[in-house]
Structure 1
Amino acid sequence: MSGTRPAPPSGAARVGRALLDRLRRLWGWLAPRLRRALTFWRRSIQARVVASTLVLSAVVISGVGWILLQQTRDGLLRHRAEVVLGEVDAEVSDARDRLEAASGTEVNAGRQQRDLVDPIIERGVSRGYAVVLAGPEGDDPPLRTGGGEYTSGLDLVSVPRSLEDHFDGVNRPTAWTYTDIVRRPRDATTGVEGPTTRVPGIIVGSQVQLPSDGKTYTLYFLFPLTEEKDTLGLVTRALLTAAGLLLALVAGLTWVVTRQVVTPIRMARQVAERLAAGRLQERLQVAGEDDIARLAYSFNQMATNLQRQIRQLEELSWVQRRFVSDVSHELRTPLTTVRMASDVLHDAREQFDPGTARAAELLQAELDRFENLLVDLLEISRFDAGAAVLTPENVNLGDVVRRVVAAAQPLADQRGIRVVVEEPRVPVRAEVDVRRVERIVRNLVTNAIDHALVDDPDEAVIVRLASDDEAAAITVRDHGIGLAPGEASMVFNRFWRSDPARTRTSGGTGLGLAIAQEDAHLHGGWLQAWGRTGQGAQFRLTVPRHNGGTLRHSPLPLIPEDAASSDAAVVGPGTVVPAREEER
């Protein structure tokens, strides 16, 4: 079998993969640390206060330091400029005096230039400044090409073009500006140029006239600002050191102050968490008489009052549960006797007059409802007492749903409501308590039939089933009066009706959905409701496929596909979310 081998990766590809691997390893090392840092930042008010104070302090200190540096710099330069101008005036006056004292018969202009500039250059070398003699004015002095007399090692680019342009004529006033003094020192023996240096400086220009030729020349004096630069650097370092120490002091003080405030708050949070966990005896330690101490005292008083009220409510709830349980049990015996008498009367109702026969039938119907109420009350009392237990078995939920729908079919036919079951081809199986799941589905289906629209034959009560690897779900959808947002928060409350004036065809007790929700919670599942006024409602039961499993999602959406996305959807008892959002 022949074939071609893939071409080996090129060098650039190998380098790219190696770089990508390094970046992945770097990100793998950096990501958890960034997450921890962000978590610490979100949870620590102390860190945020210290960081905010440091940032604001740094901004203020930077602004003040910049202003101080600018004022110091301007003062140094202004003082240096005054000294330089005075020194230049002295040099120019001395040069003019020497020129006036020269012989009137002197005609050698070159010699007079050297006699003029050489002493100034020598004094400049000894005093640390450079000198350039340019001119005469009116000609084209080759200053940039090395013409004129100037201090050895000075680069003529140090003379700014703007200052040259100022002295493009005669009788120009003295002028000065800032410049960079560039030097290229040359070894006197070898002629090799040394490294170029560039320092800031002040250049002053002034014109003089040579008697020998009557022409005007310009003297440029270049004074370095090395001392001022060093002084400014020293001031800058001092300000930076002071700013660093001040920021450290501010950070320390802020940390101490915030710690004094945050520590009691953290203790209060910890105590509040323990109180929320049921440890009602927890209290804050009170020390001192300041605001924090009074807050701790008020917190302890609140905790004591809450503990007292919770105990009272627990005792009242226990008394209520005990009363309901005792009354439910005690009523069964007289109810049995009344049931026996009612059965006798109901069986003999054909021998009575019509009014008495109707009364016997009503008595029998109300006794049936009373018995259902007692059964529901006993079931609620078992849930309240924590005595309800599961008897799970692996069943096909589709069989349970079809059995419930078949039992509710006479009620649906009586109201003219169609009940449709939609289930997948694969059986929906789960480990559940069949009796409790059947009771949940029966409550949902009979409620949907009760609230469906009778005058719309095209609408139907739709029961859907679905499952995945972790969960199984059943939804019951009706297109009746629906649930208003305010009503949805009470839909699972005991003895609550969406429309108190509405007649219950199925003769419910008002405890059905409350018991159904308790049954769902006993399975570790969810029973949730969605409703929209005038467009019906949908209830969804979701249970783990395996007993003891944990639910993370539901195989069926709570919000029906035919619902408009503009209104609000209700998830569970009283929770409102946007209809376009798929919860869980």
Structure 2
Amino acid sequence: MTKGNKGLLARLRLSSLRLRLVVVFALVALTAAVSASGIAYWLNREAVLKRTQDSALNDFRSEMQNRVATLPLRPTQDDLRRVSEEMTANGAGYQVLLLGERAAGKPIVGASDPDVFTLTDVPTSLREAVDTRRPVTDANPYPYHLFWQRTERNGTPYLVGGTRIDGGGPAGYMFKSLAAEKADLNSLGWSLGIATGLAVIGSVLLAQVAATTVLRPVRRLGEAARQLGEGKLDTRLRVSGADELSDLSRTFNSAAENLQKKVADMSAREESSRRFVADMSHELRTPLTALTAVTEVLEDEQDALDPMIAPAVALVVSETRRLNNLVENLMEVTRFDAGTARLVLDDVDIADQITACIDARAWLDAVELDAERGVVCRLDPRRLDVILANLIGNALKHGGSPVRVSVRTEDGPDGEELVIAVRDHGPGIPEEVLPHVFDRFYKASAQRPRSDGSGLGLSIAMENALIHGGTIAAANSTGEDGAVDGAVFVLRLPRDASAVARALGTGSRQGKGEDA
């Protein structure tokens, strides 16, 4: 992942945290504003309706007592209409309907405005409550009471009230429109809604300010942590204040300082170890050169030596060669560790390269090659030879012949890749060993700690693959019955390692040349 992508992901994470803070602030503000507005609307609604209702009902009761009580016991329809009109003549704001009887069971109706208020506008339940006579007691001095009910007609709310005069007089009903109150309450609702919206907007703005204040130190801490992860161990945060974020910054600075000291100590020890191995390897080369020359002479004369001495000479020759290979491997490892290993690229025919590798080591009869001619890659031929020699040699040593080497090309994430699979038909690699096969000086058999190998071959092969920008994977292959049928090592390299070579500061055969 590139540095730009990492920065983008970090900004998205911070934006997500900012978004969560804003959403929480907005939800809290919205809940509080809606609750307050709802309570205020309900209280004002009840107050407005109660004030209007009480005023109208009290006036209606008073008019009933003053005017209807003067009517005869059996009023005519004209009497009822005249009194109802008189009751509304003073601008009461409501309509009146009086219900009397011309004779028993023969009701008559007198309305102040029959076009506005008729008996059908009076709910049945209200009429039943008005007509119900209640016993007079100390707690109930009146047999009839004033009742009211809110109704709606054509979307307009109305207040309907009714009562009856004691002593057999007519029943009276009033009908008042609440449209003005509804308009006032709608206006109040809009005002409270606008206030709620402004409160939410204000809370979002405050949340932005709060989020910026809180996230700025977090962003600085995240940036410092990224720099620290990129190897800038001298990164420190500026500390100001005494809050929790300041304590976190102090803790980060302390941890960064301790990490810098430990890394410096480890680097110094590692550099010392590398220098020691490199110096030792160089110092051993001079006596090894002499020993090698002597052993070559002894090997040539081995057939003429005393049979008692010949085994000792053979042992000296083999151990000298083993020591020479170990020194060469150690020098190769120190170059990788020191970062001085370089690529020298050339156009390589893979089939020819593999054939040359196995021919030089006399493995032609033990290796089956499945590779098309003409597959040309731009790689370092010497390092590719080292990789192939280690993988094929390891397969022959631990799996036995025949070893099958197959070559193919595939499309990879960064372009076309060369894929070389080396497979044997031996017992395979134990599961507990698989994660360690590329570790230095690791040997799978604890019963054979002193084998012919140095334990560096596969490690060096992996280093040579990595320097090309590739990798090696180890696994066990299985047969049709599911049993392990040998081990397989898969080498993946880019077909053109020029980009990797430029990053390392090297080039082609006309470049800096082979590393010493």
TM class, shorter-chain normalised? 0.7 to 0.9
Check if 1:474 corresponds to 2:420.
yes
Give the letter for the 1:199 counterpart: T
Given the alignment of the two structures, is residue 369 of structure 1 paired with residue 326 of structure 2, yes or no?
Answer: no
Superposition TM-score, scaled by structure 1 size:
0.68
Alpha-carbon distance in structure 1 between the residues aligned to 2:364 and 2:61: 119
CA distance in 1, matches of 2:41, 2:476: 70
Distance 1:118-1:334 versus aligned 2 partners, 3 A rule: same
Corresponding position: 1:112 with 2:79 = yes
2:494 equivalent in structure 1: 544
Matched residue, 2:348: 395
Matches of 1:293 and 1:132 in 2, distance apart? 79
Label 1:367 to 1:133 Cα distance change in 2 as closer, same or farther (>3 A).
farther
Task: Determine whether 1:53 maps to 2:25.
Answer: yes
- Residue pair 2:233, 2:256 contacting (<8 A) in 1 also: yes
Q: Indicate the percent of aligned positions where both proteins have the same amino acid.
A: 29
The offset of 1:97, in angstroms, is 0.4
Say if 2:335 and 2:341, in contact at 8 Å, map to a contact too.
Answer: yes
Q: Deviations over 1:359-404 (max 9, x none)?
A: 2222222222211111111212222333322222222223333444
Contact 1:177-1:203 at 8 Å conserved across structures: yes
What's 2:136 paired with? Answer: none
Corresponding residue pairs, total: 471
**CA shift digits 1:64-117 (9 cap, x unpaired):** 4324433443444445444444333333334530223x7x7x6xx332332232
Within 1, Cα distance between the matches of 2:119 and 2:362?
A: 107
Instruction: Choose which of 147, 156, 160 in structure 2 pairs with 1:203.
Output: 160
What is the correspondence of 1:220-231 to structure 2 with a 5 Å cutoff?
Answer: 220-226=173-179, 228-231=181-184
Hey, what does 1:261 align to over in structure 2? Answer: 214
Shift of 1:37: 12
For residues 177 and 307 of structure 1, the distance between their equivalents in structure 2, rounded to whole angstroms, comes to 83
> Does 164-173 or 343-352 show the bigger shift?
164-173
- Tell whether 2:375 aligns with 1:432: no
1:443 equivalent in alignment to 2:396: no
2:94 partner amino acid: Y
| Residues in 2 aligned to 1:387 and 1:376: alpha-carbon distance in whole angstroms | 15
Is the deviation greater in 233-242 or in 434-443? 233-242
Q: Distance in 1 between matches of 2:113 and 2:362?
A: 117
State the match for 2:292 in structure 1: 339
Q: Which amino acid aligns with 1:127?
A: A
Report the equivalent of 1:151.
113
> Which of the numbers 42, 60, 63 marks the counterpart of 2:13?
42
1:129 aligns with 2:94: yes
Give the aligned partner of residue 62 of structure 1. 34
CA contact (8 A) 1:398 1:465 kept: no
Provide the secondary structure at the position in 2 that maps to 1:320.
Answer: helix
2:471 aligned to 526, 545, 559, which one?
Answer: 526
Task: Give the deviation of 1:334 after TM superposition.
Answer: 0.7
- 2:351, 2:373 within 8 Å by CA — same for their partners in 1? no
Residues of 1 paired with 2:267 and 2:291: CA distance? 35
The residue matched to 2:160 in structure 1 has which SS? strand
Change (3 A) 1:361 1:242: same
Structure 2 CA distance for aligned equivalents of residues 38 and 360 of structure 1? 66
Q: Is the Cα contact below 8 Å between 2:163 and 2:171 reproduced in 1? A: yes
Alignment of 1:128-527 (within 5 A): 128-132=93-97, 149=111, 151=113, 154=116, 159=121, 163-164=123-124, 167=127, 171-172=131-132, 175-182=147-154, 198-206=155-163, 219-226=172-179, 228-233=181-186, 235-237=188-190, 239-240=192-193, 242-352=195-305, 354=307, 356-404=309-357, 410=363, 420-423=368-371, 427-452=374-399, 461=404, 463-468=406-411, 470-478=416-424, 480-482=427-429, 484=431, 487-501=433-447, 507-527=452-472
Cα distance 1:282–1:357, how it changes in 2: closer, same or farther (>3 A)? same
Distance 1:296 1:209, change over 3 A: closer
Cα distance between partner residues in 1 of 2:247 and 2:213: 15
Per-residue CA distance 1:240-298 (angstroms, 9 max, x = gap): 45544544554454444443332222222223333333333332222234433333333
Aligned AA (2:298) = L
RMSD of the alignment, in Å? 4.1
Alpha-carbon distance in structure 2 between the residues aligned to 1:154 and 1:66: 34
- CA drift at 1:338: 1.8
Amino acid at match of 2:323: F
Distance 1:364 1:237, change over 3 A: same
Instruction: State the TM-score, normalizing by the size of structure 2.
Output: 0.76
Listed as ranges, the gaps of 5+ residues in structure 2 are 1-6, 133-143, 502-516
Taking the aligned partners of 2:11 and 2:106, their CA distance within structure 1 comes to: 76
Assess if the C-alpha contact under 8 Å between 1:138 and 1:168 holds in 2: no
Question: CA separation in 1, counterparts of 2:445 and 2:120?
Answer: 97
Change (3 A) 1:221 1:340: same
Structure 2: which amino acid aligns with 1:386? G
